[in-house]
Amino acid sequence: MQVEQKIDPVANNLWHVISALEEVKANIIHKTQLLGKPVSFSKTDTGIPCVWHTNPTDVAGDAVDLTSINTHLAVQYRYGYIWASLGNPTEDIFQIPEYAENDRRNIHAATVGVHVSAPRAIENFLDMGHFPYVHTNILGIEPHTEVKEYDVNISVDETEILATRCLFYQPMASAASDGGSDVEYVYRVPHPYCSVLYKSSALDESRMDVIALFVQPLDQERVRAHMMLSLLDIDNTDISIRAFQQTIFGQDKPILENQFPKRLPLDPRMETPIRADKSAITYRRWLSKKGLTYGVIPVAA
Ligand SMILES: [Fe+2]
């Protein structure tokens, strides 16, 4: 089935991650897709990213003279990633202040292609109820299946959803865990296709690890999910930390790809979020109010 590619102004004017900068070779053409449009990207010798509407002559892997490009997109480098916009962003990229704390390790954990819409990927990320069933013996375990009462709020300026007081029993919360514990979570949704999760640290009770999910909408029903970690962990290697995240996401991928419909229905009569999840209900309403239509099935007029 042909997926309709009409881009709404909200999605068009957002900043979207298209790649981790460390995965880009300088002065070499890389190609991807954003909101159904082919885009090319590279970086200069000094690491300045460059993104442009793909030219017919662009071949991935070919050398490119970046000074010759005249179809630039708006671009920024933030949190280790290249962010681009097809339109004219009205807001800056959201803040993750922890990223700048000098005792943290900021790691690009993975980029995973998933055949699902961006909002479905975000909604799954917000859902603690699937932990014991999908991430069995790692992020959850039976009989500890209850999602305890938590709070969900939308910021006064409506730019962000915040879920707090989320507690969940986890047999192995992170690569740094050595046993089961009740883990505290805070979820932020500061962007329709991005979420930032704060999770109590196994090493420092007063601070939290950060796991950010930046979902790049290739089109309405296909994404690349980029995962960034900002951790207090000093013991584990980058390789073991990445392997842990990749294991978790590898368990989510088939679940996500089996979702039907692939786009997220915003009409509460069409699909009651499973487990009547408060954060999912708030997220759907928030998307609806924003007027975002890309990757969702909007409420019929
Ligand atoms: Fe999951």
Calculate how far, in angstroms, residue 130's C-alpha sits from the geometric centre of ligand 1.
Answer: 7
Calculate how far, in angstroms, residue 73's C-alpha sits from the geometric centre of ligand 1.
Answer: 33
Calculate how far, in angstroms, residue 119's C-alpha sits from the geometric centre of ligand 1.
Answer: 14
pTM, entire model: 0.95
Question: Is there a domain that residue 1 lies in?
Answer: no
263 & 128 share domain: yes
Calculate how far, in angstroms, residue 255's C-alpha sits from the geometric centre of ligand 1.
Answer: 9
**Among 85, 108, 131, where does a domain finish?**
85
* Chain position carrying tokens 């690349």: 224
53 & 104 share domain: no
Question: Is there a domain that residue 35 lies in?
Answer: yes
Angle at 283 between CA 16 and CA 252, to 5 degrees: 70
CA pair distance 75, 287, nearest whole angstrom: 24
Joined together, the tokens standing for residue 60 give: 């991935």
162 & 214 share domain: yes
Question: Is there a domain that residue 23 lies in?
Answer: yes
Calculate how far, in angstroms, residue 120's C-alpha sits from the geometric centre of ligand 1.
Answer: 12
**Among 58, 85, 112, where does a domain finish?**
85
Question: Is there a domain that residue 92 lies in?
Answer: no
Calculate how far, in angstroms, residue 121's C-alpha sits from the geometric centre of ligand 1.
Answer: 9
Calculate how far, in angstroms, residue 134's C-alpha sits from the geometric centre of ligand 1.
Answer: 7
213 & 138 share domain: yes
Calculate how far, in angstroms, residue 251's C-alpha sits from the geometric centre of ligand 1.
Answer: 7
Calculate how far, in angstroms, residue 63's C-alpha sits from the geometric centre of ligand 1.
Answer: 39
Q: pLDDT by residue (tens digit) across 15-61?
A: 999 999 999 999 999 999 999 999 999 999 999 999 999 999 999 99
User: How many separate helices (H) and strands (E) can be counted in the chain?
Assistant: 5, 15
Domain encompassing residue 132: 97-297
Joined together, the tokens standing for residue 85 give: 């916009």
13 & 57 share domain: yes
8 Å CB contact between 150 and 163: yes
Calculate how far, in angstroms, residue 145's C-alpha sits from the geometric centre of ligand 1.
Answer: 14
254 & 160 share domain: yes
Q: What's the pLDDT at 24?
A: 98
**Among 85, 116, 140, where does a domain finish?**
85
Q: pLDDT by residue (tens digit) across 177-235?
A: 777 888 899 999 999 999 999 998 878 889 999 999 999 999 999 999 999 999 998 88
8 Å CB contact between 77 and 21: yes
233 & 176 share domain: yes
Question: Is there a domain that residue 192 lies in?
Answer: yes
Identity (one letter) of the amino acid at 86? L
> In this structure, what CATH number is given to the domain that contains residue 26?
2.20.25.680
124 & 60 share domain: no
33 & 121 share domain: no
Calculate how far, in angstroms, residue 114's C-alpha sits from the geometric centre of ligand 1.
Answer: 13
Instruction: Out of 83-87, 164-168, 199-203, 238-242, pick the least confident.
Output: 199-203
Calculate how far, in angstroms, residue 40's C-alpha sits from the geometric centre of ligand 1.
Answer: 31
CA pair distance 61, 64, nearest whole angstrom: 9
> In this structure, what CATH number is given to the domain that contains residue 256?
3.90.380.10
Calculate how far, in angstroms, residue 250's C-alpha sits from the geometric centre of ligand 1.
Answer: 9
Q: pLDDT by residue (tens digit) across 136-150?
A: 988 889 888 888 889
Question: Is there a domain that residue 2 lies in?
Answer: no
Calculate how far, in angstroms, residue 256's C-alpha sits from the geometric centre of ligand 1.
Answer: 9
Calculate how far, in angstroms, residue 22's C-alpha sits from the geometric centre of ligand 1.
Answer: 26
Calculate how far, in angstroms, residue 165's C-alpha sits from the geometric centre of ligand 1.
Answer: 19
104 & 56 share domain: no
Beta bridge partners of 164: 151
For the chain, the domain total comes to 2
Q: Which residue pairs from 282-288 have beta carbons closer than 8 angstroms and sit at least 24 positions apart in sequence?
A: 282/152, 282/154, 282/161, 282/163, 283/119, 283/122, 283/123, 283/126, 283/161, 283/189, 284/123, 286/154, 286/158, 286/161, 286/189, 287/119, 287/192
pLDDT bracket for residue 274 (50, 70, 90): low
CA pair distance 181, 170, nearest whole angstrom: 6
230 & 114 share domain: yes
Question: Is there a domain that residue 144 lies in?
Answer: yes
266 & 191 share domain: yes
Question: Is there a domain that residue 39 lies in?
Answer: yes
Calculate how far, in angstroms, residue 183's C-alpha sits from the geometric centre of ligand 1.
Answer: 15
